[in-house]
Structure formats: C-alpha cells, structure tokens
C-alpha cells in the first residue's frame, strides 16, 4: 500500500481542526461563535435524523418535534421547576428516548410514504400540544431564562467558548457513533434494510427490531440536541418544535450527504454560513438558496460528501488487502461513499 | 430427515398457490423442485424460509417445528435462500454484500461497535475472514471491491450464493440459480452446487434447466398447480406418465423451460 496521505482522512482532519480552533479564530466575535455553536447543535440533531433516514432509509418527519421535546424538557424543568441543567438534560435524553421508542412501536408498522405521513402527523401533534397546553408550556410566550449548565469545578459554561466545546463534544460523539455503526454488523443491518428489506430478511436481519432501535436512537440524539439548544439560547418558543426544524435537518443532510459520516456536519455548517451571508435578504434568501439546492441535486445527488468521495482516487476507496485496524484508509463497510 | 413438510398450503385470495404439499428433504442430498411456470415453486420456498405464513400445514427442520417462523429466525436456525431474480445490495461492494451475510452469526452489538470492544474487533476480523473464504469458494474473490450492481448477471449469482453461504446454513434454498446463464456457465453452477453439498450443506433447488436438474438431483419433486404430483429419482421422474403429461409434454429435454 502506498502511504501517501489519504484525502478522506485529510478532509476529516481539516474539519476537525477548524472546529477545534474556531473559538480562537473567532475570539472577540461572540456573535459568530454563537452562530457556529448553534450550527453544531443542529448538526447533532441532523446526525439523529441521519441514523433513521440516511442509514435505514426511513423518512421520519417527526425529528423536529423530538428536538423540540428535548428543548422544552430542559427549558421547562430548569425554569418553572427549578431543576439543575444537568438533571433536566438527563430527563430530556431519557424522555425523548422513551418517546422515540413508543412512537416507533406504532409508526414503524407503516412503510414508505405512510411512515413519512404518520411521523409528520406525530410531529404536528406535538407542536399542537406545545401551542395549546398553555398552562404548562406557556404557548406562544415561550420559555425564557433557561439555565446554562452549572459549573463543574472550575469549568464555567457561561463562557461562550466553554459552551462551544461542550457542544462540540456531543457533535464528535455523534459523528463517531455514525462511523462506528457503519463499520459494524448493527450498521450493516440498517443499510441492508435501506437497500432491500427482502434481502435484509433473507440474510437474517430482524427488520422490525433494527428499525425500532434505529428510530429510538435517532430520537434520543435529536432530543439531546434540543436540550443543548434550549440551554445555549436561553429562550425557546413553539417554533423550535415545528416542522420547519425537520425540514432544516433534511436540508443539512441533503446538502452534506445522506448516510455519510461527515455529511451532517458539513451540511449544517455550510447552510448556517449561507444563512448568515444572506441574512439581509430575510425571507428572500430562499431565492438564492433555492437554485443552490437545485444545482446540488443535479450535480451532487449524494450530497457534497458523496461528490467529494467521487473525486477521491480509486486506490483510497478500495479496501486494503491486509487486515486493517482502526482509522483505516478504506471505504465504508456498507456503502460506496459511507466512510466519510 | 433434515426438513419435513406436511400438508403445507398457501392461499392468495381464492388461489391455492401451494396446496397440501408433503416434502421430505434428506440431509446431505440435492432435492430438486420442478414444475411449470406458476406451479408454486417459489411460493414453497417463501413458505420454508418464513417469508410467507402458511395457511395450513407444518414445517419441521431438524426435528423442530418452524411453521410460520419469521425469516430472521429461520436463517438463525440454518436455512438460507437466494431469490429467483438475483437480489444484492446494489450500491455496496461485493465484499460488503457477503459481509452482510455474517450479521446473523455476529455476537457483538451496536454498543460493542461504538466502544470498539475486543469482542467487536474479534467479530469484525472473523467476519471478514469468513466472507473472503466464501468469495473464494464461489470464485468471486477477485471482484471483492467491485460494486455489486456493476457486475454481470453470472457474477451476481455467485456473489449472492456466497452471501447465503456466509450465514452458515444447514439447508440452502436456491431459486433458479442457473436462469439466464449459458450452457458453460450452467455447468459451472452445477459444479459449484456439488461442492456446496460436499461441504455437508443440504441443497433444495428450483430449476427449469432439465439437464442441470437431472445431473444434480438425488430426488426430484414435481409440483403442478400448487400440488405435488410426483416424487422420485431423476430416472423415475423421466418416465412418470403424469409428469410427462403435466410438465415435460412431448418434448423430453428442456421442455417447459422458459427463458
Ligand atoms: N404474493 C403473491 N400474491 C398473489 N399471488 C401470488 C403471489 N406470489 C405468487 N402468486 C401466485 O401463485 C402462483 C404460484 O407462483 P410461484 O411464483 O410460486 O410460481 P413458480 O412455480 O415459482 O413459477 P416460475 O417458474 O414462473 O417462477 C402463481 O399463480 C402466482 O401468480
Ligand atoms: Mg418461481
């Protein structure tokens, strides 16, 4: 094997370094750091959706609502009920896991478009509850004064850079989990389901259980991101549970690359950047964004990561002949361009 | 008997696709199932592998009642199948396709993968080694990094056999393994099936190519309109008047063999 630098690893390293040094590069620019932190939180949620949609091939439109449930759990518990952030955050994670599990039991009885419609209805139901159940959720007044994470020893989370690194930790965890899944039998089962449910069955994949686990895990990750969002933002309103959130996550995934490891990060950061650039245009920014999306769909149907992977020389896409340990230079175990 | 089927039936609406079928599959042999188009051969396989729930009858595998068992459990029990129209994971490489066949024998779970436990690493190493062995066995090792969808039909059929073998079956159900291949390739598939049997795997074969069936089968079962109309050795079947009438017709070899 050649020991020339693998462009895939180089790409991952560049993104990782950029993310790590961002607070230094943006020092004195609090606002921009906050934009990047928010984008990172959305990226975590996109990783959640990526598990059920990107890997397993099931279009869930409830994930914006799961994000919102996580956000409201942290928001309400740390304000009206005066819980600490940490216990509320744990409750958000456990709560969205249970919610994901229970709704998965019902939603996954449906397939294809019916699954999409069912989950959209579920998301809408959650949105309606937030808007109507005023005595608990404060409806349109929203929840303000959501707590920052309490200090751990000398670590002060009101410091923007600290909060950023805290979020980054979860983002790295989500990306790594996706990578590990893709290189495991569990992930192979999911991708098998995405490609052909019949063939997946014929090799012994328990389709129902695999989908249930994927849906639950993806709800957990979305809910976790919601919890972080509430704390960072300090304020949340019903719009953080709406279908718009779901469509944003979809946009990040489509632009970055469905079912890939780096797609969610790249997509979220890029769209956040574009939104900032086009901020003055307000709602007209979609006039610019629209054509960009159309061009992407035409020229990079597998998203940016898919497009970049095609440029990677073949020798890096092919598997080594020797048994490969971690950080291999090889392509994903499941899809042609799943490795990044 | 490795597999015992009694009174098996499957109704689709008013249609009896399979009706009252008895079938004994002895261990270590090749049992061929033949019959005209629409006779219910594929439906029978789908019943055995758990893809369809029988509307009547029982299926016993290695002495265990597996009637109505879901595919993910029949595969675990040791029944593997290939499809009449070859199915592979199109956007995955050949090796990844065969690796997918190892999922059912894996002992590590998603958490093992995330925490990269020794169990996960052992499992991955063993899976890759086994998948490569099966690719070598079917003669497709050199294609390991190719995309499955880019392969010619014949190679795809080999890969799907390797995938089924990777699940470590005791019984392999092959639905028209030689369909759409030329004579030379058909002969090669015949050899491959013999090698599979030599490994101690019992084979059930649905095939329209009579030369292959007559060559390979220890036992032939003839289905017509969902019912079993004859059972016997190739010699017996060839001279059975019922079979000749229902299936072989006037033309003795290759009869009723649509493309
Ligand atoms: N899922 C289904 N729903 C309704 N009818 C079906 C279904 N599957 C098969 N059939 C019908 O059952 C009968 C048996 O079909 P089957 O596919 O088992 O035949 P076969 O013997 O495999 O034929 P061939 O040699 O053409 O593959 C046919 O009449 C077919 O139309
Ligand atoms: Mg058939």
Task: Give tens-digit pLDDT for A30-65.
Answer: 888 999 999 999 999 999 999 999 999 999 999 999
pLDDT tens digits for range B78-92: 999 999 998 999 888
Supply the DSSP string of A173-184, one letter for each residue: HHHHHHHHHHTS
> Model confidence at B243, in pLDDT bands (50, 70, 90)?
confident
- Which segment of A188-197, A272-281, B235-244 scores lowest on mean pLDDT? A272-281
Tell whether the model's pLDDT for residue A336 goes beyond 70: no
- Across the interface, whether the CB atoms of B96 and A334 are under 8 A apart is answered yes
pLDDT for B65 equals 96
CB distance B234 to ligand 1 below 6 Å: no
Token pair for A323 = 């048994």
Contact list, B95 vs chain A (CB under 8 Å): 319
pLDDT tens digits for range B60-74: 999 999 999 999 999
- Looking at 3.40.1130, 3.30.390, 1.10.3470, 1.20.1530, the CATH number of the domain A7-316 comes to 1.10.3470
CA distance linking residue A318 with residue A331, whole number of Å: 6
- Across the interface, whether the CB atoms of A185 and B167 are under 8 A apart is answered no
**Hey, what CATH class is B3-78+169-248 in?**
alpha beta
Q: Please give, one letter per residue, the 3-state secondary structure of B129-140.
A: HHHHHHHHHHCC
> Model confidence at B250, in pLDDT bands (50, 70, 90)?
very low
Under 8 Å between Cβ of B76 and A204: yes
Under 8 Å between Cβ of B178 and B207: yes
Question: Longest Cα pair distance anywhere in chain B, in angstroms?
Answer: 66
Tally DSSP H helices, then E strands, for chain A: 15, 2
pLDDT tens digits for range A185-214: 888 899 999 999 999 999 999 999 999 999
Rounded percentage of chain A residues whose pLDDT exceeds 70: 89
ipTM of this complex: 0.87
Tell whether the model's pLDDT for residue B253 goes beyond 60: no
Under 8 Å between Cβ of A77 and A32: no
Domain ranges of chain B: 3-78+169-248, 89-151
pLDDT tens digits for range B139-181: 999 999 999 999 999 999 999 999 999 999 999 999 999 888 8
Tokens 């790249």, located at residue: A266
List, as ranges, residues 175-204 from B with C-beta within 8 Å of A: none
Atom of ligand 1 nearest to the CA of B208: 25
From B241, B252, B226, select the one nearest B55 (Cα to Cα).
B226
CB distance B19 to ligand 1 below 6 Å: no
> Model confidence at B205, in pLDDT bands (50, 70, 90)?
very high
Asked whether the CA dihedral B103, B105, B111, B113 is positive or negative, the reply is: negative
Which residues, at least 6 apart from A72, have a Cβ–Cβ distance to it below 8 Å? Answer: A130, A137, A143, A226, A230, A236, A240, A241
Question: Nearest-CA distance from A45 to chain B in Å?
Answer: 18
CB distance B37 to ligand 1 below 6 Å: yes
CA distance linking residue B100 with residue A165, whole number of Å: 37
- Which segment of A268-272, B53-57, B203-207 scores lowest on mean pLDDT? A268-272
From A15, A22, A18, A16, select the one nearest A160 (Cα to Cα).
A22
Which residues, at least 6 apart from A214, have a Cβ–Cβ distance to it below 8 Å? Answer: A51, A52, A55, A56, A58, A190
Under 8 Å between Cβ of B21 and B57: yes
Question: Nearest-CA distance from B147 to chain A in Å?
Answer: 8
């Amino acid at each position: 094997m050649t020991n020339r630098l693998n462009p895939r690893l180089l790409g991952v390293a560049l993104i990782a370094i950029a993310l790590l040094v961002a607070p230094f590069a943006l020092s004195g620019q609090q606002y921009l750091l906050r934009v990047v932190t928010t984008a990172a939180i959305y990226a975590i949620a996109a990783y959640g959706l990526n598990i059920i949609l990107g890997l397993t091939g099931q279009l869930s439109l409830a994930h914006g609502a799961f994000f919102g449930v996580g956000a409201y759990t942290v928001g309400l518990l740390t304000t009206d009920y005066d819980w600490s952030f940490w216990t509320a955050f744990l409750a958000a994670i456990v709560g969205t896991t249970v919610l994901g599990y229970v709704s998965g039991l019902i939603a996954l009885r449906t397939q294809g478009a019916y699954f999409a419609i069912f989950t959209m209805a579920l998301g809408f139901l959650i949105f309606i509850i937030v808007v109507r159940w005023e005595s608990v959720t404060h409806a349109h007044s929203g929840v303000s004064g959501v707590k920052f994470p309490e200090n751990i020893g000398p670590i002060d989370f009101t410091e923007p850079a600290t909060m950023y690194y805290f979020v980054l930790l979860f983002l790295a965890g989500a990306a790594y989990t996706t990578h590990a899944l893709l290189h495991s039998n569990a992930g192979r089962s999911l991708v098998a389901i995405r490609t052909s449910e019949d063939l997946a069955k014929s090799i012994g994949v328990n389709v129902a259980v695999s989908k249930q686990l994927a849906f639950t895990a993806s709800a957990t990750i979305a809910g976790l991101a919601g919890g972080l969002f509430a704390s960072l933002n300090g304020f949340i309103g019903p719009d953080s549970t709406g279908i718009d959130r779901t469509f944003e996550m979809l946009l990040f995934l489509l632009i970055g690359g469905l079912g890939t490891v780096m797609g969610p990060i790249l997509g979220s950061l890029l769209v956040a950047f574009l939104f900032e650039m086009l901020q003055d245009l307000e709602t007209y920014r979609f006039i610019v964004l629209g054509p960009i999306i159309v061009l992407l769909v035409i020229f990079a149907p597998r998203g940016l990561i898919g497009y970049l992977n095609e440029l990677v020389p073949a020798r890096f896409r092919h598997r080594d002949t020797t048994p490969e340990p971690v950080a291999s230079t090889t392509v994903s175990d499941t899809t042609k361009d799943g490795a990044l | 008997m490795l597999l015992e089927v009694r009174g098996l039936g499957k109704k689709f609406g008013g249609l009896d696709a399979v009706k009252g079928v008895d079938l004994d599959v002895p261990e270590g042999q090749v049992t061929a199932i033949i019959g005209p188009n629409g006779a219910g051969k594929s439906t029978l396989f789908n019943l055995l592998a758990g893809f369809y729930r029988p509307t009547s009858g029982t299926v016993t595998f290695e002495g265990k009642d597996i009637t109505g068992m879901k595919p993910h459990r029949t595969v675990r029990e040791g029944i593997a199948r290939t499809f009449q129209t070859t199915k592979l994971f199109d956007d995955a490489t050949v090796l990844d396709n065969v690796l997918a066949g190892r999922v059912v024998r894996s002992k590590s779970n998603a958490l093992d993968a995330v925490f990269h436990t020794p169990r996960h690493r052992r499992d991955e190493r063993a899976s890759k080694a086994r998948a490569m062995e099966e690719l070598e066995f079917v003669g497709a090792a050199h294609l390991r990094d190719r995309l499955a969808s880019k392969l010619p039909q014949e190679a795809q059929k080999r890969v799907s056999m390797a995938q089924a073998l990777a699940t470590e079956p005791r019984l392999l159900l092959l639905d028209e393994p030689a369909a759409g291949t030329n004579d030379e390739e058909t002969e090669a598939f015949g050899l491959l099936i013999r090698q599979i049997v030599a490994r101690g795997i019992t084979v059930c074969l649905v095939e329209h190519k009579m030369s292959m069936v007559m060559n390979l089968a220890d036992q032939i079962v003839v289905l017509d309109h969902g019912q079993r109309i004859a059972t016997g050795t190739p010699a017996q079947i060839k001279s059975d008047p019922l079979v000749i009438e229902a299936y072989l017709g006037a033309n003795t070899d290759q009869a009723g063999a649509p493309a």
